[in-house]
Amino acid sequence: MDSTHQSDPLRRARLRWRARRGLLENDLIFERFFGKYEQDLSDADVGALTRLLELSDNDLMDLLLARKEPEGELATPDIVRVLALLRTA
């Protein structure tokens, strides 16, 4: 864990709530992810997750299942790192 650890439990709870998706497959991936990594999320991780959660369910699913890779504004190191964690959760 680094010095930018996201220590605000309310902010993490809001993020977890926002991660509830219309597609069950997305929900399952996020539940596993939060079960493994929630306590260790950094501010950068929260920012990356927030950006990913702005996507439609289908676009997010394509990224989570590696059918697509992040492009354009989503192709940042933070998003790529968090996406790798989501894919292995």
Q: Distance between CA atoms of 48 and 78, rounded to whole angstroms?
A: 6
Q: DSSP 3-state helix, strand, coil percentages of the chain (rounded to 5)?
A: 70, 0, 30
> What is the mean pLDDT of each successive set of 10 residues along the chain, which is 89 residues long?
55 68 78 90 90 92 96 96 95
pTM over 0.75: yes
**Confidence at residue 1, expressed as pLDDT on a 0 to 100 scale:** 38
**Confidence at residue 43, expressed as pLDDT on a 0 to 100 scale:** 87
**Confidence at residue 38, expressed as pLDDT on a 0 to 100 scale:** 87
User: Buried b vs exposed e over 30-69: b needs ≥16 C-beta within 10 Å?
Assistant: beebbeeeeeebbbbbbbbbebbeebeeeebbebbeeeee
